Structures are given as C-alpha cells and as structure tokens.
Structure 1
Amino acid sequence: MRSQCAVHRVNKREQNSANTGLEHQRRTANMSASYLLIAVDFGTAYSGYCFSVDANHEATLTNKTYQTDTVVLFNENQEFVEFGENALAVYTKMQSSQACRFYFFQNFKMELYTQNITENLMISAKDGKQLPAIKVFSESLHYLKEHALSTVKANVPDFQFVPQDITWVLTVPAIWNNAAKEFMRRAAKEAGLIEDILSENLILALEPEAASLWCKQLPSTGFIKEHLEGSDELKVQQQPGTRYVVVDCGGGTVDITVHEVLEDGSLNELQKASGGGWGSFSVDEKFQNFLRELFGPVVWDIYELEYPSELQKMMHNFSIQKCTENNDIYIICPYNLAKLASAVQEISSFFNQVEGVYWNEGNIKLTYSKLASFFDESIKNIVRMIKEILDTPDININFILLVGGYASNGRLREAVRKEFSSQCKILCPCESQQATAKGAIMFGTDPKIIRSRVSPMTYGVSVCKPFDPNKHNPNMISVNKTGGDCYCTGLFQRLVEKGQPVNCDDVSEFMFFPVDVDQTEACFDFFATDQSDAMYINDPGVQKVGSFVLPMPDITLGRYRGIKMEVRFGLTEIKANATDLSSGESGKTEIKFILK
C-alpha cells in the first residue's frame, strides 16, 4: 500500500514579491553563465537548429541555421545509420530486399501526440517493425547535437566551451501533454544534451510561443506581401494591448495560441493552446489513401510491404510537388507498382472512372482541383479552430500570424485570408519554417518574456482528510495504523484550475502532513481533469498524470511533520520542489508524468 501523502489540512498561498524577485535573479544568473545557446527545432517534417555564442546573448548567429528532414534510419541490428536527408538518400537507393531489413522512421514525432506514453513505448517504422521510442528520439537528438556543435566550432573556431557552458532550447508543440514533454527531456538526457534530468541547461520552448517572439521583432520586409498595400500593414504591432492569434502549422500538428502584448513588450497567453493533427503530413496521408483506393488494397498492400524504399521515393516526390499552385502535377509511377498493377489489369484502366486523375505515359497526373482536395480536411479544421477563437466574446483580435512550414502553402494562406481578412490582418513571415528555431533562441535568452500562461487542465493531488460523514463518501473511509483516526481517502485537492492565468513567477505553496506516525515517505499522485466539480480521484474524467515520492526519514514528531510543496504552473513544464520540514530533506522534485 502506498504511503499516504494526505493530511490534516492544506494551506495555499502565493510566494511574496521578495521571494519572487530572488527567484528571478537566480534564473538570470544561471542564464548569463551559459556562453553558448543552441535552439533545436525538432519538427515532424523537418528539424533544424540555430545558436548564439555571446555570454550576454547579443551576438546571436540566427543566420547560421541548419534544416533537414526528420527521418532516421537504423540497420537490421537496430544500430543508428543516418538522420535527415542523408537517411532519406541512403534508404531510397536501397534494393527492396535490403530496405525490408532496415528500420526507416518518418513522421514519428506524431507518436508522442497520438499515443499513450509509457516507459516502454514502442513506435513503428514505415513497414511496421518496431523499436523503443526512446532509442529513435535520442539517436535523432544526438545526431542534431553533434551536428550543431560541429557547426559552432566551424563558424567560431576561437570560441572555447565545455558542456556546462551550453544551454539547449528544445521546441515542443504547445498542445502536447506533460508526459510528452517529459519524454523529450528524457530523450535529451539519453542523447547527451544534459546529464541530469532536472538540469536547467535544457529549456523546453513551446513552438507557437517561439515563433511569435521571432515574428514580433521582424521588420515589414520580413513578411510575405500578399493582398496588401503599403508596408506599414506588414508588421506585428508592438502597442500594449495588441492581441493576435499564432497559428503554427507544422508537418504533424497545428498549434494555436493567443497572445497579448504587455507594457514592457512581454506577452500574456489569453487562452489555453489548442489545435490538432492537421499538419502537412495529413495531406500526404490523404494522397496515399487515395492511391490505395485507386489500385485496390490487394495491389497496394503488397507494394507497401515489399517495396518500402520505392514507395518512400514516390511520397517524397509528392511532398515536394504538393505545394504547386494553380498547376497540375505529375508523379512518376514506380516500376514495381506499375508491374503489380499491370498483373491485375491494364494499368490505364485503373484511371477510367476516377475524376481528376489520369495515366500519362508512366506518370500519375493529378489535376490542380484533385490535388487541392487532399488539403480540404486539414484546411477546414484549421479555419474552424481559428473561427472558434475569433468568436470568443470580447477577444478583440488584431491579426492572425501564420507560421511553420505548412504556412508557406498558398492554399492554406488563401483560405485563412478569404475567411478572416475582413475581421483582422493576416501575416506570414517569409521564412515561416525557420521562425520557431530562431524564436527559441530569444526564448532561451529570456524565458520570462512569456509573462503568463493559461492552465489547460485542472490539476490536483490525491489527499486524505479527517472523515466527515456529512461530506464524504463512506466507501472512501480508511483508518490509520493506530486505529485512532478515520480518514476519507482519494480526495481530489485542486492545485490550479483549468483556464486559470498563471504568472511565470507564481510559486504556489502547499502544506501536507503524514497520516501515520511512522511514515518514512510521502507519495504524491497528481491528477488532471476538465471537470469543474471533481471531488474524488475516481470521479469521471479525472486521470492520473504523474507522481513523485519524498523521503521522510525522521519520524520523531510522528504526524506533526510538515511537508512543504512548491509548484510552478506558469512555465512550459510543471516544476515542483518539496521539503520535509522535520528532516530538512529537500530538493527539486521530478514529477514522473510518464507512468508505467
């Protein structure tokens, strides 16, 4: 049975301003000690990095950016081979018999959004073979780490540094849950970016926030001039009170957040992040599903299984051409697909009854309208989500900021402009793909530039309280070891409410006491819910999301031993400190959001 972390009473307060000031000074000191700041934008479709090498972060080399495909290749012995465009080149040149033995991963970042993350999470390669997720992610990050360090040394040969001089900023989607964020921190540790899982030398930056920061300081020439007259309109306004929607359109997810400019130029988040899996890869998936319908499941499933590298080459060809505007496109039909299809019937006959698709001397011709249809569902979802935000009472949005690689697609921009240009301005940076990495440098320099965020869920811990027959469920009653006291167990003690704005400096303090006199540890189980009236941890909609254990070795005072827990909900990660006031046992506490 778990040791009860529950208590006689719970007190809550915010740290006073003096303590908050000290915290800010400590954080600033830590940041200025890092002479090298490297931001890694680990995306679903593409990954890249940029860096800053000045102790005061004034000489930011954001023009020295690197970007490549987010694909990774392992051999038949599950050993890392290549990452990025090199992995793509090696894999697509392989004979099919060899490719079937290798592990080729693409679009694997989406697994952290769609799957329930556990310690032993396995993810599938393109052909269904599986490897541990931590291996796939950590090897990818290790490659980017080594590539980044080599680039720094090549560009700044006189710059000497040790690992302790580096602060890494790793970007993650704002709509990810806490388990996904913890997973990336663990992968970064496995990759050698940090030695300690709680190291402050790794900062997680939320992708739309980073992109927002970069775009906020761009001149008018930094934005695509489209359906606008006059350069004054092509700029993010800096006036206090300006409100804008950031729509980060990536390969896997579309992340949407709402920011307001404050008096000092920092930003407040006005609504919890929203979005979904509507990125550019959803268009590729529509095309691949269409091919399966076109050639039939028998032909397609054999082709997909036996010729994975050839299929990958065809899909890569499509991904390049899909952004073509106002023109038909031609996709070369691979030899083995044509061979399998021809064994069933004359290949041109597959196209006879299909509108907008033609067989053209070894090519699959897609009309512009047919190609556009693959974008429809993705664009409709993005427009719908933006509309929900703009329809919020008293939201008063001044403009919409489209960022991310998918934002470079003219169809998407036109759809957003057509729907919302009468309500607010629409802006898209010229280098929309690189906005996140460059903005992550700015965030790493000053993480408190995002002044407050909105809690996406109601978070709480499981506690016990003295049993009250007028309030508590009799099925939740428990007696402590001495048999002298009855407690109600499994009570949901709220720490922060869904939709509650939380300042980045806010530290919420809670006091707990043990139930048993000889208790030598306190186990804190964290829960989250969308419900506003949850009372017990087993109420509908309440889900366990994390836990940590605090040692309490000194039992001299029995049940009169205070446990002080400090939690920060206003950062990109939930952070906690816990102290056993009797023994002085204290320290940063890793809340384990990845459950077994």
Structure 2
Amino acid sequence: MAGGASSLDGKLLVAAIDFGTAYSGYAFSFRSDYRLDPLKIEVNHWTGNASQTMSPKAPSSVLLNPDKTFKSFGYTAEEEYSSLVENGQHQEWYFFTKIKMRLLYKEKISRTDIIEDECGKPMLGLTILSMIIRYLKNDLFKKLEQRGTSLRDQDILWVVTVPAIWSDAAKQFTKEATKEAGIKSDDVMLVYEPEAAALYCRFQNMQNIFNAEKESYLSKKKMLVFDMGGGTTDISVIEIKSEKEIHIVERACGGAFGGVFINNKFILWLEEVFGKDMIKEFKKKHRSDFMLLIENFETKKRLIKPGDDTKLCFQIPHSLKTSSERRWGCSLEEHFIKMDIVGVQVHKRGKIFIMSSFLLNNFFLPIAKDIFEKLRFVLSKHEDIDSVLAVGGLAQSSALVSEIRNYVKDIPVYVPFDSALAVVSGAVLYGHGNNIIKARACPYSYGIQTMRPFIKGDDETKKVVQEGETWCKQCFRALYKAGDLVKLGDVSSYDLEESFEDENRKHKRFLPIRCVLFISNDKDVRYVTDKGCTEHGTIEIEAPEDGFPVHYECTVELEFAGTEIIARLNDKKGAKTIRLEFMT
C-alpha cells in the first residue's frame, strides 16, 4: 500500500486520535456518513468529576494504581491525583503528564526509555503511551455501544496524529504503542498534524473562516500552515493541485513553542515572585488550587488582544496568599509594592491585575521569536504563498495571530472557528481519503554507505585497494535528497550482493543482513563521514531457515512519500516488506 496507507476495504468507521502534549482527544465518522457529508465528524467531549465544563479535549494525564495498573485518564486522573496529594496518599500511586514532550522529542529513542512520574517513580514510556491509546480506543467502543452500535476491531481504521517535525524513530515508537494497545498494524496509520488541519479547512465552507473578507479561501493554491499546539509549532507549505491532489512542497520545520511552554514561563514567574520553595510546597499541599490557578492563566492568555492593553484579573488562591504572607511577614500587597513589577497591580483579597502587554512581552514573544524567524525563512523561499492557515490551540490567541500577520505582511491569514479541532477532524478526513496527498518534500537526504571506483578529487583517506582495483570507501549513495519532491508510490532502490563462500563468512548465512540508513540535512553529501551525516536506521533482511545462498543477490526498495518509510525486498523467492529499525 503506497506511503504506508491502510486499506479502507471492509471498514465501517474512521477514528482519529489526537495525542497532544497538553491535551488529547478523538473524533470519528462512519463511511456511510462521509459519502453524504464529509464534515459530519463527531468529536468526543470530556468532563471531570468536579467540572461541569464539557471540553473536546482532555488533559494528557494518566493515573495508575500502586500495582501499576490503569486507573484513570484526563480530567478524572488530575482530580483523583489532586485528592490523593492533598490527603498525603499519593506516594504509592503513579501520575504522568506531558508524556509526549518528555518521551518523543529526543534525538535518540528506545523501546526501553523510561519516564518518571510526578514523584520520580519510573515506568516504561511505551507502556504509558499504550495505556492512553488503549483507553481512548475503549472509550470509543463504549460510546458506540451506548448508542446501540456494535463494531468489531476490524471494522475501524485508526488514524493517529503526529507532528510533522517528528523523527522516524518517534513515529515508529507511536506505531508500536498502538500495537501494544491492541490495534493491529494494518488498521492504523499516521498523519502529520499540519496536513490534517489543511485538509479539514479545505473542506470547510467560506463562512467558517475568520477574516476572510471578500477573498475566496478555497481558491488559494499555495498555503503555509502554522500549527501551534501544546508542545510544538509545525510549519508546512502545501500546494493545492486540484480538489483531489495536494503536494507538501516544503520540509516541515518548527520547534518547541506551544501552550505548555507559555504556561511554564508563567510558573517560573510565580516562583520568582513567591519563591521556588513556596510554589513547590503550594503545588504539593494544595494541588487543586494550583491547577485552578494554571487553568485561570490558560483561559486569560487567550483574551490578550493586539493593541488593547487591558488588565487581566488573577485570583491568588487563599492557601498560597496566607502561607506566603506568613513567611514574608507582610501582606501580599506590600510584597508586590517592594518588588515594583511594572505592569502588575495587587488589590485586596488576593486579586492581581496583570496588563496584557506584560503577559505578551514576558511569556509569549520570547519563546515565539525563533519560530517566527523560521516562518520568515520559509516565506523567503516560497514567494508565491498566497495564504497562511493558523491552527492549533494557540491560534485562538488573537495576539499571536496578530504577530503572525506582522511577519507575513500582505499575505492573508485565516483562522478556523474551531482551530483547536482542525487537526483531529482533518485526521478523520485523511483516513477516508489518504491518497489525496500525492507528494511530499523529503525531510532529509537519505542514503546508504557504498564503495565505488576512486576518481580524481576524492578524499585520499578513503582510498582502498582490493584485488588490484582502487576503490573509494564510505561513500554516501543518495536514495533521496533533502527537499526533493517525492510522489506517492515512487521508490528508490539499490542492489545488494553478498558472498558467503569465504570460510570466515559461512556462518553469516544464517544471520540477518543489515544495512545502515544515513541521513543529512544537506542536499549534496559525498561521504557518510561528512559533518551532519548520521546513522539514522537499519534495514534488516532476515535469513531464511536454510540460510542465504552462498551467492546472494537482491534489490531493496524504499518508499518515502507517505508519513512512514516502507522497505521492500525483491529476490529470487519473490517480494516482501522488510523491517526498518529506527529506535536504538
């Protein structure tokens, strides 16, 4: 199946899981409904035991029992853990949050990677992620059963969203977590978040786009997608060839800028004001109050409007106010007067008024600066971009959208009403028609190590002589070059010959043949030892039961156009898919 796409044959429903750093959720639609109305997508809504607010996403938090079995997820997990903390009963329990950021944004990823819970107790990251996916899967089945709809596992195609800037190892880790969660490999596919968002917005009517004015958003041919989530911001450039053909024409870029980092910046500021030890104690003894304070900030930060420097009110919890005043020996008002923070005022009964410009300049823009510079760089490479699509939770911040407009100048910026749901809804659409994305820009130069005849100008240190022939070793044989547009179904191949005739190699007939896959950000790479060229993965050919022939010849094909790289083997016994290993 091209590009790692999964077949819709026999599927009755497409379900998408949007696993985010801060919040997660799922959406689904039936095949029969999609044929009549593609936008008839149902998004699950969540609520906690104590909260009456319905939300389309739940915190990406999970609580485990002391015996490491699953207890709860989302709002319920946070509320139950807060109760355990405040009653001093949490030490034996396991509570994990922001798993995605802590586990999958690393250069090297392993199945044995561990993450620590709030108290420092370790667990396998793969186990935690699979527990969350299993819970979301089971919750969908529960919702369907409550409606009287009974489906089997094989009736559902699952689509899991991933950041476009993720490594192949992170994507492989995610696929293996879905398998451990009880979803067969053939029933799951991955989709890049900005691509999913773009698909969703292409299906929307004009009335559902902010700031559209008189221009037709649907007529735009080349758009930049600016996806601002909880942990990362992804920037992609998408070219609309037709209603049924989309090309991703720029390598995804971005970085660690999202809602979580802005919230963390606010927490660091609280530590400066109240003291690090005080905030640590407050979080431990009054966790519910701490969470309410952060939720208040989460809400207020979205009210910041460009050019409107208003006062935003924050209620300091009574528990934090009284314990701080006891330690300081003065009132909260007196303490803030001593600190003399411009842009912040304190009123009686623990109310703090912070100017929106203070929040913007101290918590938003310092983190966003690098991302905006990458935005400027991409725009300089694609001067024919005619629109910018801002999606993700942070797209609800009019102040940040205003900053984007400052950077893109005269290019119109569109923001969907439901920008936070564009990714998960688009992932459902992608599941129904994943062949609409016909080509993608290759993220790296991919290649293997080869030896070729030595020519003038080659590195003398690479020269070797074998059987009277002069060869150049450690050469990079490019399979695809960084930035090249790779069409769906395109393959790059190389021939492989192995001889096991030598006495010292006979035993290797029964061992797997492994070939290292190298990557580089550079378009033109000469040697695998060049700066920036690194080992990326391993292509593995398993030995037959009776071992490889003494003289073995085969062709290895690699397909890059999808979200996952597919490796296939062709030899005298036929063709088959073989393993590509990206994790350590």
TM-score by length of 2: 0.86
Tell me if the contact between 2:448 and 2:479 (Cα under 8 Å) persists in the aligned partners.
Answer: yes
Quick one: which amino acid aligns to residue 236 of structure 1?
Y
- Quick one: distance in 2 between partners of 1:191 and 1:163? 12
Establish whether residue 592 from structure 1 lines up as the match of residue 576 from structure 2: no
- Quick one: distance in 2 between partners of 1:505 and 1:335? 61
Establish whether residue 223 from structure 1 lines up as the match of residue 215 from structure 2: no
2:218 to 224, 234, 237: 237
- Quick one: distance in 2 between partners of 1:264 and 1:299? 57
The 1:128–1:329 alpha-carbon spacing in structure 2 relative to 1, beyond 3 Å, is: farther
Matching residue of 1:62: 41
The 1:56–1:566 alpha-carbon spacing in structure 2 relative to 1, beyond 3 Å, is: farther
Say which SS state the counterpart of residue 234 (structure 2) adopts: strand
Matching residue of 1:535: 526
Tell me if the contact between 1:333 and 1:363 (Cα under 8 Å) persists in the aligned partners.
Answer: no
Matching residue of 1:569: 560
1:396 to 384, 390, 409: 384
Aligned 1:202-351 pairs, distance under 5 A = 202-224=188-210, 226=211, 229=213, 232-233=214-215, 235-238=216-219, 242-304=221-283, 308=287, 310-325=289-304, 326-333=310-317, 335-336=319-320, 338-340=322-324, 342-348=326-332, 349-351=334-336
Q: CA deviation at 1:391?
A: 1.9
Tell me if the contact between 1:215 and 1:236 (Cα under 8 Å) persists in the aligned partners.
Answer: no
Identify the range of structure 1 (278-287 vs 320-329) with the bigger mean alpha-carbon deviation: 320-329
The 1:309–1:493 alpha-carbon spacing in structure 2 relative to 1, beyond 3 Å, is: farther
- Quick one: distance in 2 between partners of 1:453 and 1:25? 10
Quick one: which amino acid aligns to residue 104 of structure 1?
F
Identify the range of structure 1 (272-281 vs 508-517) with the bigger mean alpha-carbon deviation: 508-517
Q: CA deviation at 1:390?
A: 1.8
Matching residue of 2:135: 143
- Larger RCO (CA under 8 A, 6+ residues apart): 1
Matching residue of 2:94: 103
1:34 to 1, 11, 21: 11
1:190-248 alpha-carbon deviations (Å, 9 max, x no partner): 11122xxxx23111000000000010121111112x4x64xx43x52236xx1111111
- Quick one: distance in 2 between partners of 1:340 and 1:26? 56
1:301-335 alpha-carbon deviations (Å, 9 max, x no partner): 44456655543343233223322234412133351
Matching residue of 2:53: none
1:84 to 74, 78, 81: 74
The 1:217–1:350 alpha-carbon spacing in structure 2 relative to 1, beyond 3 Å, is: same
Establish whether residue 355 from structure 1 lines up as the match of residue 339 from structure 2: no
Say which SS state the counterpart of residue 257 (structure 2) adopts: coil
- Quick one: distance in 2 between partners of 1:384 and 1:366? 28
Quick one: which amino acid aligns to residue 168 of structure 1?
W
Aligned 1:378-457 pairs, distance under 5 A = 378-392=367-381, 395-420=383-408, 422-457=409-444
Establish whether residue 371 from structure 1 lines up as the match of residue 359 from structure 2: yes
Quick one: which amino acid aligns to residue 405 of structure 2?
R
1:68-102 alpha-carbon deviations (Å, 9 max, x no partner): 22222223333322111211222233343224543
Tell me if the contact between 2:5 and 2:562 (Cα under 8 Å) persists in the aligned partners.
Answer: no
TM-score by length of 1: 0.84
Quick one: which amino acid aligns to residue 89 of structure 1?
E
1:504-525 alpha-carbon deviations (Å, 9 max, x no partner): 1212222111154344231111
The 1:323–1:564 alpha-carbon spacing in structure 2 relative to 1, beyond 3 Å, is: same
- Quick one: distance in 2 between partners of 1:419 and 1:535? 37
Identity of aligned residues (%): 27
Contiguous gaps of at least 5 residues in structure 2 = 46-55, 305-309
Tell me if the contact between 2:556 and 2:569 (Cα under 8 Å) persists in the aligned partners.
Answer: yes
- Quick one: distance in 1 between partners of 2:443 and 2:249? 11
- Quick one: distance in 2 between partners of 1:288 and 1:122? 25
Matching residue of 1:20: none
- Quick one: distance in 1 between partners of 2:406 and 2:238? 23
Quick one: which amino acid aligns to residue 222 of structure 2?
R
Quick one: which amino acid aligns to residue 346 of structure 1?
C
Say which SS state the counterpart of residue 136 (structure 1) adopts: helix
Matching residue of 2:52: none
Q: CA deviation at 1:162?
A: 2.1
Matching residue of 1:14: none
1:537-585 alpha-carbon deviations (Å, 9 max, x no partner): 33321221211321344668533x2121111111111111123x24x27
Say which SS state the counterpart of residue 250 (structure 2) adopts: strand
Q: CA deviation at 1:448?
A: 1.7
- Quick one: distance in 2 between partners of 1:62 and 1:543? 42
Say which SS state the counterpart of residue 145 (structure 1) adopts: helix
Aligned 1:428-577 pairs, distance under 5 A = 428-464=415-451, 471=458, 490-517=474-501, 518=506, 519-520=508-509, 521-553=512-544, 558-559=550-551, 561-577=552-568
- Quick one: distance in 1 between partners of 2:91 and 2:298? 22
The 1:128–1:55 alpha-carbon spacing in structure 2 relative to 1, beyond 3 Å, is: same
Matching residue of 1:3: none
- Quick one: distance in 2 between partners of 1:280 and 1:470? 51
Quick one: which amino acid aligns to residue 179 of structure 1?
A
Quick one: which amino acid aligns to residue 315 of structure 1?
I
Tell me if the contact between 2:29 and 2:42 (Cα under 8 Å) persists in the aligned partners.
Answer: no
Tell me if the contact between 2:62 and 2:96 (Cα under 8 Å) persists in the aligned partners.
Answer: yes
Contiguous gaps of at least 5 residues in structure 1 = 1-22
Identify the range of structure 1 (504-513 vs 120-129) with the bigger mean alpha-carbon deviation: 120-129
Q: CA deviation at 1:415?
A: 2.0
Matching residue of 1:9: none
The 1:337–1:118 alpha-carbon spacing in structure 2 relative to 1, beyond 3 Å, is: farther
Identify the range of structure 1 (303-312 vs 135-144) with the bigger mean alpha-carbon deviation: 303-312
- Quick one: distance in 2 between partners of 1:272 and 1:499? 6
Tell me if the contact between 1:127 and 1:308 (Cα under 8 Å) persists in the aligned partners.
Answer: no
Quick one: which amino acid aligns to residue 191 of structure 1?
A
Quick one: which amino acid aligns to residue 441 of structure 1?
V
Identify the range of structure 1 (257-266 vs 287-296) with the bigger mean alpha-carbon deviation: 257-266
Tell me if the contact between 1:238 and 1:265 (Cα under 8 Å) persists in the aligned partners.
Answer: no
- Quick one: distance in 1 between partners of 2:574 and 2:68? 42
The 1:555–1:132 alpha-carbon spacing in structure 2 relative to 1, beyond 3 Å, is: closer
Q: CA deviation at 1:365?
A: 3.4
Quick one: which amino acid aligns to residue 405 of structure 1?
G
Aligned 1:185-200 pairs, distance under 5 A = 185-194=175-184, 199-200=185-186
**When the two structures are aligned, how many residues end up with a matched partner?**
551
Say which SS state the counterpart of residue 581 (structure 2) adopts: coil
The 1:478–1:106 alpha-carbon spacing in structure 2 relative to 1, beyond 3 Å, is: farther
The 1:513–1:210 alpha-carbon spacing in structure 2 relative to 1, beyond 3 Å, is: same
- Quick one: distance in 2 between partners of 1:132 and 1:27? 29
